[in-house]
Amino acid sequence: MNVKDGIDPETFRAASREADALLKALSNRHRLLIVCELLNGKKSVGQLAQALGVRSSTASQHLALLRREGIISGERNGHTVWYRITSKPAAEMMKSLYASCCSLSQLRNTTKEK
């Protein structure tokens, strides 16, 4: 077992299919933004489409893929389907991406201002 920095490649090898599926599902800017929006609570297709600046049909296609991968689920209430995150790994990954990318972006903006 080769463990450096707490990461065991053999252990990860067993989970690599799940990691691959999660990364593929999140490898689109719109899907990343959908997951980011859903971290703040349940949203409808219309709300998500408006937040992303896309048509409802486009948002629906991305939601369908995220639902197929088990990252989100939808709950019908009358005529509206409310979506929420159901995948803890996806939520944690999004939080990590947010922390890494947004702090890097802020650092770049601060550096440019000087």
15-47, pLDDT tens digit by residue? 888 989 999 999 999 999 999 999 999 999 999
Query: Is 84:75 a contact under the CB 8 Å cutoff?
Result: yes
* Domain contains 65: yes
Q: What CATH number is given to the structural domain containing 35?
A: 1.10.10.10
Domain count, the chain: 1
- Over 90: is that where the pLDDT of 2 sits? no
* Domain contains 55: yes
* Domain contains 2: no
Domain span including residue 25: 15-113
CA dihedral 83, 87, 90, 94 (to 10 degrees): 50
| pTM for this entry | 0.80
* Domain contains 44: yes
* Domain contains 47: yes
* Domain contains 64: yes
